């Protein structure tokens, strides 16, 4: 039994008894990405006969699908190339680099040959569920955001009807890099273990809480006396703007620290390699920082541990707003939710105070009862 043609499309029942399924077919004019139209036949699964119990219900389901806007014939790999050409020039370099890395490394290998109109929410969810076996939740979030960004652009271009990433939740996965809150002794030990300029760089990071990209991007021309104006960062060995507008800030550098920095010698960049270029954070971490930490028995997540250490210590002594602006956060909520760490020792003082008060009250009640 074949399809019968109707102006409103046609439906067909297939399958063995008890497992029959309704299918629908229609023809439509589909927009080409470069302009113009092409005629395409659409064949879709409408649902089981147990749900659509008669032909009229199947035709009604088909009419709903036919009223949707036709989607362009374009695979994800082609969409990605178009997005790079049109959208990437409008983005901040560090932002576009992150998107492109996620898309090239994870998304295009999985969806590159797929027609964009055929990528469903189920496809996105199963893709993320499979990657959750290997990657942490933060990496999965980057994958979802990158895929969603490109598909949202396809919706805006009228090439697909809706973004299948909308409403997709992340699966359970491992946690992100665990940060170590260092003691002053551990920071001093690391600095003593390292050669210059990495020794002073460690002290600078621990004392100021700057991001590593901001620190290696400091020039001597950024100083006005003892005040440092942070206005750039180095990302993937390229000079660029800071992460956010709030990251552009001025901080006073203690005299003792500034004098030590001056001992690094003259040059355009404060923390520089032997060739005079800014220190490469990845290379420095792998060749110097991590080996020094391992030799001292310190578990170190990376350069960012110094930033977390300072914020945690300062939040115990100073107003949140002061700490947030020193770190260059756009919101105090980021400071509190991400950069405040609590350990067991932080419970000791309030528990001691409460226990003393309770025992004192119990003693008073016993004496009064006697």
CATH number at residue 92: 1.10.150
What's the pLDDT at 301?
87
Least confident of 99-113, 145-159, 161-175, 189-203: 161-175
Whole-angstrom distance, CA of residue 277 vs CA of residue 349: 48
Tell me the pTM.
0.59
Domain housing 334: 197-338
In a domain, 175, yes or no: no
In a domain, 118, yes or no: yes
Whether 202 and 151 share a structural domain: no
Whether 204 and 134 share a structural domain: no
Q: Cα–Cα distances in Å, from 252 out to 165, 222, 232, 288?
A: 45, 12, 17, 28
Whether 60 and 81 share a structural domain: no
C-alpha of 258 from chain center: 34
Q: Cα–Cα distances in Å, from 123 out to 90, 131, 155, 167, 191?
A: 29, 12, 17, 13, 49
Domain count, the chain: 3
In a domain, 172, yes or no: no
φ/ψ of 238, rounded to 5, equals -115, 140
End residue of a domain, out of 107, 129, 156: 156
What's the pLDDT at 334?
66
In a domain, 343, yes or no: no
Task: Compute the Cα dihedral for 213, 217, 222, 228 and give only its sign.
Answer: positive
Whether 55 and 97 share a structural domain: no
pLDDT in tens, 343-358: 666 667 676 777 677 7
Across the chain, mean pLDDT equals 85
Whether 129 and 49 share a structural domain: no
Whether 223 and 292 share a structural domain: yes
Whether 240 and 309 share a structural domain: yes
Whether 143 and 271 share a structural domain: no
């Amino acid at each position: 039994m074949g399809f019968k043609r109707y102006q409103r499309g046609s439906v067909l029942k297939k399958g063995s008894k008890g497992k029959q399924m309704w299918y629908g077919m229609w023809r439509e004019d589909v927009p080409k990405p470069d302009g113009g139209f092409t005629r395409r036949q659409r064949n879709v699964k409408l649902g089981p006969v147990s749900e659509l119990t008669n032909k009229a219900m199947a035709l009604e389901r088909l009419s709903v699908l036919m009223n949707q806007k036709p989607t362009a014939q374009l695979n994800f790999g082609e969409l990605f190339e178009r997005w790079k050409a049109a959208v990437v020039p409008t983005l901040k370099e560090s932002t576009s680099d992150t998107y492109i890395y996620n898309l090239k490394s994870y998304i295009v290998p999985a969806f590159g040959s797929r027609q964009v109109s055929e990528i469903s929410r189920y496809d996105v969810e199963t893709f993320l569920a499979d990657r959750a076996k290997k990657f942490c939740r933060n990496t999965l979030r980057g994958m979802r955001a990158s895929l969603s960004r490109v598909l949202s652009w396809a919706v805006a271009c009228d090439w697909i009807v809706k973004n299948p990433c909308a409403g997709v939740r992340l699966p359970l996965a491992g946690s992100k890099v665990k940060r170590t809150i260092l003691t002053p002794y551990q920071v001093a030990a690391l600095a003593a273990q390292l050669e210059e300029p990495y020794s002073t760089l460690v002290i600078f990071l621990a004392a100021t809480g700057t991001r590593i990209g901001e620190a290696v991007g400091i020039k001597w021309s950024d100083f006005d006396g003892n005040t440092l104006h942070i206005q750039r960062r180095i990302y993937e060995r390229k000079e660029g703007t800071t992460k956010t507008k709030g990251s552009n800030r001025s901080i006073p550098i203690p005299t003792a620290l500034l004098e030590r920095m001056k001992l690094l010698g003259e040059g355009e960049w404060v923390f520089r390699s032997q060739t005079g270029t800014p220190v490469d954070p990845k290379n420095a971490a792998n060749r110097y920082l991590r080996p020094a930490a391992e030799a001292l028995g310190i578990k170190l997540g990376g350069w960012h541990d110094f930033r977390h250490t300072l914020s945690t210590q300062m939040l115990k002594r100073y107003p949140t707003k002061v700490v947030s602006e020193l770190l260059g956060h756009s919101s105090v909520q980021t400071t509190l939710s991400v950069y405040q760490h609590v350990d067991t020792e932080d419970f000791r003082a309030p528990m001691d105070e409460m226990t003393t008060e309770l025992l004192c009250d119990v003693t008073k009640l016993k004496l009064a009862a006697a």
